[in-house]
Amino acid sequence: MNKYNINVEELRDYLGFGVAGNFANHLGEAGEADEFSVIKTEDKDAPKGLFPFYIPNHDTFLGEFPICTDKINHNDMEHLQVEAEVGLICDFVYENEKLVDLKPRFFGAFNDCSNRIQDGNKLSTKKNWGSNSKGIATEFIEIDNFEENGILSRFHIASFVRRNGVLKDYGTISAVKSYSYFFNQLKDWMIDKFNTQEDSGPLEELPPFLKDIKKHKGLLIAAGATAYTDFGKHNFLEKGDEIYIYVYNAHFHSFEDIMQDMSGMDLHLSQCSKLHQIVE
């Protein structure tokens, strides 16, 4: 298994998008179910759509580079929540003004941190409030193949917040394969959405965001946030909180390994992508 050291500056040349509603119950727990009620899907289990969180050189707030490896800018917001996700670093094929293919190359821990108080009528307005409003692990893992028989199917997502020295589970521990859509089903769905998604409810029309995609290195996809624990549902982030997100091989590392890592033991979690951020 090969690891890839993240060069955050290199990600300035990637377009960032997230998948909305790709885990059961998340939209309801995030207070967004009513907004998305206008979005109808042919498959009841399908995600609701895609949203942008970073578009290089865009002339709106989306042009602000939000990604950081070690901190979250609280910005005196009262309703910030961790969104623990699998991040996918993808190559693409774009021909005749259409996205023809997506090629996920690396995966790892991602925090699609969100402000639950919306500044506009689009989901994207909750997602980017400038520098240090997103989180990414310093190491990602190479994808052997983006199919159910690949290594990624063995991985789980776990997230925690340490507040005043007390560690709390923030998101429910979730297997990657328990995403509503993943692997080739998610890939095919995303290609279709990038080419066809129209402006509706909290979601934007997507094709205009891709018109200059050939100038950029790739796509960073946040695959969707897990459901929350009771603590996560009822506790927004505060300055001084420590955030931990692990995307780990549950066939290789135990939950005890994760707990010991957060206690400060240097375990060298070889089959894990870890994100650790401080809220400032």
Q: What is the pLDDT of residues 14-29, one digit of tens each?
A: 999 999 999 865 555 5
In this structure, how many other beta carbons lie within 10 angstroms of the beta carbon of residue 270? 11
Q: What is the pLDDT of residues 55-78, one digit of tens each?
A: 999 999 999 999 999 999 999 999
Provide the 3-class DSSP secondary structure of residue 125.
Answer: helix
pLDDT of residue 39: 65
Beta strand 139-142 with 3-5: parallel, antiparallel or unpaired? Answer: antiparallel
CA angle 38, 44, 247 (to 5 degrees): 100
| 155: nearest Cα among 273, 249, 269 | 249
By mean pLDDT, which of 30-44, 60-74, 218-232 is the weakest?
30-44
Domain of residue 232: give its range: 3-279
pLDDT for residue 118 is more than 90 = no
User: CATH no. for residue 211?
Assistant: 3.90.850.10
pLDDT of residue 37: 61
Q: And the tokens for 15? A: 């377009």
Q: How many independent structural domains does the chain possess?
A: 1
